[in-house]
Structure 1
Amino acid sequence: MADKKREEARKYLTENRKARHNYHIEARYEAGVILKGSEVKSLRGGQSNIAEAYAGANAQGGGLWLYNAYIPEYKQANRENHEPRRPRQLLLHAREIAKLSQEVTRGGMTLVPLSIYFNERGMAKVEIGLAKGKKLHDKRASEKERDWNREKSRVLRGDKR
């Protein structure tokens, strides 16, 4: 019951649909993100994009950061505006950060942002996937399976195409 209510409360702002095509998602993590006021206003207006974004460790301060995520400028913010593609710090527990950075360095994994949304309390969250890149033959196999499932459902429904 609580999970259903939580899912209804999520308002997805942007999703990275290509991530599921390009990567095998091994694990998912919910991370908070440090945003400026103009970024929050801009997110509520839509138009953000995380297709080319990635997450990684920062060499100077440590922690995890979200790089290359596009959040457009908020027009009413004037001089208090933000840079659209600035790095944004992600908030996770220290144990999770250590585990993720270890997986990235040793295991050859990648941290891919899957979606940005507001949770039930109105806080902006980023869903991060610990992923391994797909090879070309893996992509073809998953596309073939998807086509077969689509065709199978058409046959069961009785559609003619």
Structure 2
Amino acid sequence: MKILSNNKKAYHDYFILKEYEAGIELFGSEVKSIKEGRCNLKDGYCKIKNREVFLYNIHVSPYTNASIFNHDPERPRKLLMHKYEILKIHNKIKEEGLTLIPLKLYLKNGLIKIEIGLAKGKKIYDKRETSAKKDFERKIKKNLKYTNL
């Protein structure tokens, strides 16, 4: 499994409650561009319309060697999931006020897959708390590194 794009901002801004794997409907030039690593998931989000999941605001740069009829870089893309998964996610979003965001874009068995997460937004004090924990863990690792010599 080769990770093509990662959404680090999502882990900073949200609590990820559950992760799902989905296929993504792409054009040929988009596939080549994504395999080159020219994709940005930072501002992306998902919506459910008519029992289908669509991915919005991810930027896939146009493939340089494609013809003049290239794809739109920020077009909505359909995600390929089972109906029962979509209904389960839709119910959780309606009841608990959660959101669906893209986390990773990766290559699996020659196919491009996307990992989407059911997420709850963090407050400012939650962000401070998590950054303080990371700093504390970094300091502990650094001290252990020097004491083990």
Residue-by-residue CA offset, 1:102-139 (whole Å, 9 max, x unaligned): 111221101010010110x2111000010000111111
The TM-score with structure 2 as length reference comes to 0.95
Which secondary structure state, in structure 1, belongs to the residue aligned with residue 59 of structure 2? coil
Task: Let me know the Cα RMSD of the aligned residues.
Answer: 1.1
Structure 1's unaligned 5+ residue stretches are: 1-9
Match of 2:124 in 1: 136
More strand by share: 2
May I ask how many residue pairs the two structures share in their alignment? 147
The 2-side partners of 1:135 and 1:79 are apart by 45
Distance 1:45 1:137 in 2: 38
Match of 2:65 in 1: 76
Partner of 1:44: 35
TM-score normalised by structure 1 residue count: 0.88
Q: Give the Å deviation of 1:100.
A: 0.8
The one-letter code sitting in structure 2 at the alignment partner of 1:21 is H
Percent same amino acid among aligned pairs? 42
- Other structure's SS at 2:9 match: helix
1:155 matches 2:111 = no
Q: Note the C-alpha offset of 1:31.
A: 0.3
Asked whether 1:90 is paired with 2:79, we answer yes
Greater than 2 Å deviation, 4+ residue runs: none
Unmatched runs of 5 consecutive residues or more in structure 2: none
Larger fraction in helix: 1
In structure 2, how many angstroms separate the alpha carbons of the residues matched to 1:45 and 1:94? 31
